[in-house]
């Protein structure tokens, strides 16, 4: 893993990386192993040796002006996490063979290109229970994050951590 992985991920966001130009809207999210490895990169500096430090108070806050976040939920398919919160070389969690999960991933995304939306519209059903003098109301819907276009995020996987 190197600092070039960050730049190459940004370049994947649209033709020539055009969607990665607004540093206020773009951020990096990575698994925890990639996050810890990122703190060891040679390009990362503290305030005592660099006037615009990327590490403040022990936290990696920015790289080249882009916000950086570590996520404990990336590569987390279940609660017991016997696979160590890493992914295989294809960027997916292998639950059948946990020993295959040895790499990390890095995601760059644009905040303003995602919104909360309906995956399935809400449906209502009512059932009357005369013996209990009650009415059961059931409402079902699916909501989730919806992207405005296919260049709203980019991922680099297979990072050796």
Q: Sketch the domain layout of the chain as residue ranges.
A: 4-111+149-160
Identify the pLDDT of residue 18: 92
- Residues 24 and 62: beta-carbon distance below 8 Å: no
What is this structure's pTM? Answer: 0.77
What is the maximum alpha-carbon separation in the chain? 76
Spatial CB neighbours of 96, under 8 Å, sequence gap ≥ 6:
none
Q: For residue 107, give the 3-state DSSP assignment.
A: strand
Q: For residue 7, give the 3-state DSSP assignment.
A: helix
27-58 burial, b at 16+ Cβ within 10 Å, e below that, comes to: bbbbbbbbbebbeebeebeeeeeeeebbeeee
pLDDT in tens, 80-116: 666 678 888 888 888 788 888 888 899 999 999 989 9
CA-wise closest residue to 1 among 29, 45, 42, 59: 42
Strand partners, 30: 70, 106
- Residues 43 and 63: beta-carbon distance below 8 Å: yes
pLDDT in tens, 127-145: 999 999 999 999 999 999 8
DSSP one-letter string for 26-81: EEEEEEHHHHHHHTT-TT--BTTT-SS-SEETTEE-EETTEEEEEETTTT--SSS-
CA-wise closest residue to 156 among 113, 104, 111: 104
pLDDT in tens, 51-64: 666 777 777 878 88
């Amino acid at each position: 893993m190197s600092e070039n992985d960050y730049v190459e991920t940004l370049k994947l966001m649209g033709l020539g990386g055009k969607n990665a130009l607004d540093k206020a809207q773009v951020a990096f999210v990575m698994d925890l192993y990639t996050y810890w490895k990122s703190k060891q990169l040679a390009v990362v500096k503290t305030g005592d040796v660099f006037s615009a430090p990327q590490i403040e108070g022990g936290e990696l806050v920015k790289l080249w002006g882009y916000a950086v976040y570590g996520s404990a939920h990336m590569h987390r398919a279940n609660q017991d996490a016997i696979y160590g919160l890493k992914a295989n070389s294809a960027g997916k969690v292998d639950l059948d063979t946990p020993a295959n999960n040895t790499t990390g991933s890095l995601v760059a995304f644009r905040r303003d290109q995602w919104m909360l939306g309906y995956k399935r519209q809400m449906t209502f059903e009512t059932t009357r229970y005369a013996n209990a003098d009650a009415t059961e109301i059931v409402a079902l819907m699916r909501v989730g994050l919806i992207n405005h276009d296919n260049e709203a995020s980019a991922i680099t996987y297979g990072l050796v951590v």
